[in-house]
Amino acid sequence: MDHNVRIQQLLDKCEAMSILCNRANEYWGIIKTAFQIPLILTGSVMCILNSFDDGKTTDMKIPNVIVNGLSVLLLSYQNQLKVVEKVETYKSLTNSFLLLAHQIEGLEQDEIDRNMVNNLTDKYDTFVMTCEFRDIPKRYKLEVRKIMQGKTLPLQLNGGSGLVDRTSKDIVISNIGNLSEIV
C-alpha cells in the first residue's frame, strides 16, 4: 500500500479518535459536575446552619449525620466510577490524538517513508490501547461514525465494538476478491 494512502488513513483515524475522546471527556465532565454540585450545596448549607448552632442543643446532630452520610455516599459512587480519572484520561487522549494528527499534517512529502509511517502507526496504537471504549456511550461512537462518514475509521468504530450489524446487506467489503480466490 502506498505510504501516502496509509498516512491519510492514519490521519483520519486520529481525527476520529480525537473527536470521540473529546465527546467522552465532555460526557464524564458532566457526570463529574453532577456529583460535585450536591456535595458543594450540602456542604454550604451545613456550614450556614452550623454557624447558627449555639452548642447548647443537639438540634444539628441529626442533620449533620444525614448530610455527612449523603456526602460519603456521593463520594463513594464518584470514586467507584472513577469519574475524575476518566475525565483526565479522555482529556489527555484528545490532546494526544490531536497532536499526532498535527504531526502527520506537518509532514513534508519527502519525509514520508515506511519507517515514518510505521512509527506514527505505533504511536497511534499506543494511544488507542489506553482508550477505554466501553466507557464511551454508544451515541457518541455513532455520532463520530456519522461525522467521519467516508473516511477511514478506527476498528472500534468500524464494527469492532458492535456498532455495525455484520449481517447487513449494506456493508460493502472492499479489498477482498471473490470467495473462490480466497479458498
Instruction: Tell me the per-residue pLDDT of 71-97, one tens digit each, with 9 for 90 and over.
Output: 899 999 999 999 999 999 999 999 999
**Residue 67's pLDDT band (boundaries 50, 70, 90)?**
confident
Instruction: Tell me the per-residue pLDDT of 39-66, one tens digit each, with 9 for 90 and over.
Output: 898 888 888 877 877 777 777 778 888 8
Indicate the residue type of 99: L
Domain limits at 15?
3-182
- How many domains in the chain? 1
CA distance 61 to 73: 18
Torsion of CA 102, 108, 113, 114, to 10 degrees: 10
CA distance 146 to 142: 6
List the grid coordinates of 114.
515506511
What pTM does this model have? 0.80
List the grid coordinates of 33.
459536575
